[in-house]
Amino acid sequence: MAKKHNSGISIAEQRKTLHKNLNFSASEAYKLLRTNILFSLPDEDKCRIIGVTSSLRGEGKTTTSINLSYTLAEAGKKVLLIDADMRLPSVAKKMEIPAQAGLSNILVNSNDKMGIVFFKTPVNENWHIITSGDIPPNPSELLGSSRMKKLLEVLSSKYDFIIVDLPPVDIVTDALVIAPELDGMIVVVHENMTDRRSINECVRLLRMSEAKVLGFVMTGVKESDSRYYRKYGHTYYSKYYREVPD
Ligand SMILES: Nc1ncnc2c1ncn2[C@@H]1O[C@H](COP(=O)(O)OP(=O)(O)OP(=O)(O)O)[C@@H](O)[C@H]1O
Ligand SMILES: [Mg+2]
């Protein structure tokens, strides 16, 4: 029997929406996202750290984080994807890599040495992953710690981009406490799940926490959505906005 993720969709089905398995139109949509990010954060001399969050669970944050990382690595950038959703991690599962010691283990370790454990993806040699590690009792505290800040500083010298997959901002503060350490935040909005009130509240909280909202990725857009169809052809994939949608 096929393995199931908590979304109820089998791993085999999810695989079709990830990195090198993307169809032409979907892959073009992520390339557009990459271009927009390169324009939003053009300083090539420094590592750009980008968080991915949303207002609610299950809107497509991890899928977006994986595909954005892959697309940047395909453009020759050195990319690190960090699974910072220490409450409900899914990067290891989606990438079908071992859920080894990861972020939480690095952060609770009190040694001076960071003991960074990252996974080199077989998909692209420029693309590394730090999994979430063992589930800790206090993810917000860990993400807001000085050790997390130091970790990002150390990693920034090794990568062009760090993509941080975060939990949603609905009930927990994890995405908000780390926001000041990021160069920008992408907000994922699912066409059928998120209402305007939730998006506005999400953006209000992010702005209060000094996050620079780079834009919005809309997921779950159906092929038959004529607005999207006209613009990008036949895909149900992500759409990118620079401003808060009306
Ligand atoms: N752009 C997309 N188009 C179609 N399906 C998608 C898209 N993005 C994600 N999905 C599907 O939606 C489900 C949830 O995606 P994902 O796990 O990426 O969401 P998430 O926001 O990270 O969830 P969580 O809040 O639990 O971490 C998965 O089954 C995934 O395959
Ligand atoms: Mg996720």
Ligand 1, atom 15, lies closest to the CA of: 60
Per-domain residue ranges for the chain? 14-241
Ligand 1 center–CA 111 separation, angstroms: 36
Q: What is the pLDDT of residue 223?
A: 57
The fold adopted by the segment(s) 14-241 is Rossmann fold (3.40.50)
pLDDT value for 206: 96
CA-based R_g, the chain, Å: 17
Q: What is the mean pLDDT of residues 137-162?
A: 96
Residues with beta carbon inside 6 Å of ligand 1?
A: 7, 9, 14, 17, 54, 57-63, 85, 88, 90, 168, 219-220, 236-238
147 C-alpha vs ligand 2 centroid, how far in Å?
23
Which of 202, 175, 167 lies closest to 88 in space, CA to CA? 167
Mutate which of 7, 11, 171 for ligand 1? The one with the most ligand atoms within 8 Å of its CB, which is 7
Apex 183 CA angle, 201 and 92, nearest 5: 80
Judge whether residue 222 has pLDDT over 90: no
Mean pLDDT of the region 225-233 = 40
pLDDT of residue 24: 87
**220 or 158, greater pLDDT:** 158
User: What is the whole-number distance in angstroms between the Cα of residue 139 and the centre of ligand 1?
Assistant: 21
DSSP 124-184: -TTEEEE---SPPS-HHHHHTSHHHHHHHHHHHTT-SEEEEE---SSS--HHHHHGGGSSE
What number does the ligand 1 atom closest to the CA of 56 have? 25
- Asked whether residue 111 carries a pLDDT value surpassing 80, the answer given is no
Distance from Cα 182 to the centre of ligand 1, integer Å: 22
35-65 residue pLDDT tens: 999 999 998 899 999 999 999 999 999 999 9
Q: Mean pLDDT across the stretch 185-207?
A: 93
Atom of ligand 1 nearest to the CA of 17: 31
**Are residues 95 and 66 in contact, defined by beta-carbon separation less than 8 angstroms?**
yes
Mean pLDDT of 10-28: 88
* 211-240 mean pLDDT: 62
Among protein residues, the one with the nearest Cα to ligand 1's atom 16 is 60
Chain centroid to CA 93 = 15
Q: What is the pLDDT of residue 246?
A: 40
Residue 5: band (very low, low, confident or very high) from pLDDT cuts 50, 70, 90: very low
More confident residue, 154 or 245: 154
- Name which residue sits closest to atom 19 of ligand 1, judged by CA: 60
Q: Would the pTM count as exceeding 0.85?
A: yes
> What is the share, in percent, of the chain residues with pLDDT greater than 90?
67
